[in-house]
């Protein structure tokens, strides 16, 4: 992690992507969050879509782990607007999961749109921290990274959004670069048809197959759960025991 990671994207993340992603995270993980009996862990919480969904769908405490200051700022603003009684149930950990060193705090861990952004060594460092943070019998739901490098460039254009007199837009371009995927985000703001601002932020992504991730996680005590309806998600359970503790909200 670099101290200014997401410094550009954080401003545009919610306005360009939040609405669609909110629907998606409810669809992908809503039922799992609803079944949590101890706690929900949001690994790489970003600006808080999974955190908010977990707070709404579950009756347990939520741990949001987000090391990047730029992403944590909108997350905290979002949480600050919640009623105090609900805010009591969410804890923000301002480090990587490895640094946060959480022990047995959750029976459901969700890692949405995060694994792809971790280099292989960082991914390997994450798994023991996930195993520590979960109780035995707990489940890990993770959004799979791209399985391989793209054969040709892939572009995704974000639908334009109006904010007052200005229009916000952008696109994401993914291209193979050695063994990584260069992911370039271009953002723009226009007013009266004129460009007011343009910004670029580039990230790296590392492909990994479902089989590779299952193999890695098995070394840390996880076993695969049944395949999900949505092939984008891998579901694993932390083996041994069924002694999930209960810690429900009143
Ligand atoms: C692409 S963003 C996705 C954020 C959010 N999950 C979403 O989908 O909107 C990936 C996030 O993972 C966070 N992250 C990176 N490494 C991490 C680690 N080791 N532990 C926890 N979070 C991490 C980054 O700071 C970043 O906010």
| 164-208 pLDDT tens trace | 999 999 999 999 999 999 999 999 999 998 999 999 999 999 999
What is the spatial distance between Cα 114 and Cα 123, in angstroms, rounded to a whole number?
Answer: 10
Atom of ligand 1 nearest to the CA of 118: 16
Distance 83 CA to ligand 1 centre (A): 25
The domain segmentation of the chain, as residue ranges, is: 9-145+208-238, 154-205
| 101-151 pLDDT tens trace | 999 999 999 999 999 999 999 999 999 999 999 999 999 999 999 999 999
Atom of ligand 1 nearest to the CA of 122: 19
Say which CATH class 9-145+208-238 falls into.
Answer: alpha beta
Specify whether the CB–CB gap between 167 and 161 falls below 8 A: yes
Fold of the CATH domain 154-205: 2.20.130
DSSP helix/strand/coil, 197: strand
What is the spatial distance between Cα 205 and Cα 220, in angstroms, rounded to a whole number?
Answer: 23
What is the spatial distance between Cα 248 and Cα 102, in angstroms, rounded to a whole number?
Answer: 19
Q: From the CB of 10, is ligand 1 less than 6 Å away? A: no
Place of tokens 């690994």: 43
Specify whether the CB–CB gap between 237 and 77 falls below 8 A: no
Q: Which long-range contacts (CB under 8 A, 24 or more apart) does 34-37 make?
A: 34/58, 35/108, 36/60, 36/106, 36/107, 36/108, 37/107, 37/244, 37/245, 37/246, 37/247, 37/248
0.75 exceeded by pTM = yes
Whose C-alpha lies nearest to ligand 1, atom 10? 114
pLDDT bucket at 246, cuts 50 / 70 / 90: low
């Amino acid at each position: 992690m670099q101290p200014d990671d997401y410094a550009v994207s954080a401003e545009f993340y919610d306005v360009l992507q939040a609405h669609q992603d909110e629907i998606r995270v409810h669809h992908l993980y809503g039922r799992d969050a609803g079944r949590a009996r101890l706690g929900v862990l949001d690994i790489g919480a970003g600006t808080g879509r999974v955190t908010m969904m977990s707070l709404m769908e579950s009756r347990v405490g939520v741990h949001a782990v987000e090391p990047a200051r730029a992403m944590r700022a909108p997350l905290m603003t979002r949480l600050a607007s919640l009623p105090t009684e609900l805010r009591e149930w969410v804890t923000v950990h301002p480090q990587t999961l490895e640094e946060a060193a959480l022990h047995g705090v959750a029976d459901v861990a969700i890692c949405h749109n995060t694994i792809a952004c971790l280099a292989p060594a960082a991914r390997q460092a994450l798994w023991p921290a996930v195993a520590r943070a979960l109780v035995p019998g707990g489940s890990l739901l993770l959004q799979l990274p791209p399985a391989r490098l793209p054969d040709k460039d892939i572009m995704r254009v974000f639908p334009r959004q109006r904010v007052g007199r200005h229009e916000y837009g952008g696109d994401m371009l993914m291209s193979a670069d050695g063994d990584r995927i260069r992911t370039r985000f271009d953002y723009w703001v226009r007013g009266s048809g004129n460009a007011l601002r343009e910004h670029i932020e580039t990230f790296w992504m590392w492909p990994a197959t479902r089989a590779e991730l299952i193999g890695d996680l098995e070394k840390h005590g996880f076993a695969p759960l049944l395949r999900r309806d949505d092939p984008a998600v891998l579901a694993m359970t932390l083996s041994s025991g069924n002694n999930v503790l209960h810690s429900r909200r009143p």
